[in-house]
Amino acid sequence: MSRSESSPALDWQIQPEEESDGLVGESGEERRPIVVAKQIHKTFRNGEIEVHALRGVDLTIETGEMVAIMGPSGCGKTTLLNTLSGLDSFDDGEVTIEGTPLAEMNDRKRTEYRARRMGFVFQSFNLLPVISAVENVEMPLLVSGVRPAQARKQALESLDSVGLSDRASHRPMQLSGGQIQRVTIARALVNSPALVWADEPTGNLDVGSSTDVLGLMQRLNREREQTFVIVTHDPQVAGLCERIVRMKDGEIAADE
C-alpha cells in the first residue's frame, strides 16, 4: 500500500523543487535541494539577556546526502536542527523544504508534514516505556491516520530492517541501549521519510552499540538514498558522513 493510500491527504501541495546545482547521487540520479535555509536568525531572550543562537545561517542540503553538523556545546547545532525541521520557530530568514517555505505552513500542516515526510532520532530515545517496541514504532503511523493493521505491518517491517524482528514484543526496559536506539531508528523510518534528523544519536551508547547504529544509518542512507542530517560532537559519527558542516557562535564556520 502506498503512503497516499494509507494516510489522509493533506490540503496543501509540495511545490516544485528549486533548480539543482547538478550534484549526482550514488544511483546516478541528479541530486536536488531538499532543504534550503537563507539568512536564518534565532535569538533566545530571558529578561534583559539575549542569546544569539543563529546569526544569518545559509545552508543547502541535497537529497540523499548524509550530513554531520558539528561544533562545541552552545554553538547552535541543535537550534539549527530544530529550526530547519520546523520543531522550533526562527526570527528572520527563510527555510524551504522540498520547495515549500515553512512560513507558508501553519502548525497543523507542519505537524502533518513531519509525520509524513520526516523521521527523528534523539539521544534520549523518547520511547514510551509501557508499550512494546512494535507499538512504539507504529505510533507515528496511527497518529497520521494509517489503519491499525497496516500500521502494524509497516512497523514489523521497519523493525526487521534494523534487525529487531525478534524483539517486537519487548518493552524498552527489556532491551539494551543499542537495541533501544535501533527501535527509535525503526520508528523514524517507518513512514519511509524523505529526511531523517538525528540529534546526538549515539550520545548514550557504548562504543560497540554506537558502531552498530552508525553502520545501520550509513547502510540505510546508501540503500534507500534517504537524507540524514546528524548533529554530533563525535568525530567517529562525522567521519561516516559525506559532508561536515562546522558551527561556531551561531554561524557556519566551515562546510567540508
At CA 172, angle to CA 147 and CA 199, rounded to 5? 85
Task: Of 5, 65, 58, 2, give the one whose Cα is nearest residue 192.
Answer: 2
Is 219 in a helix, a strand, or coil?
helix
pLDDT digits over 83-119, tens only? 999 989 999 999 999 998 988 888 888 888 888 888 9
What is the pTM assigned to this prediction? 0.80
Number of C-alpha atoms within 13 angstroms, CB side, residue 118? 22
The per-type count for the chain, helices as H runs and strands as E runs, is 8, 10
Q: What does the block give as the cell for 128? A: 514510551
What does the block give as the cell for 50? Answer: 539575549
Q: Is residue 204 helix, strand or coil?
A: coil
Cα 60 to Cα 153: distance, rounded to the nearest angstrom: 35
pLDDT digits (tens, 9 = 90+) for 163-215: 899 999 999 999 998 899 889 989 988 888 889 999 988 887 788 878 888 88
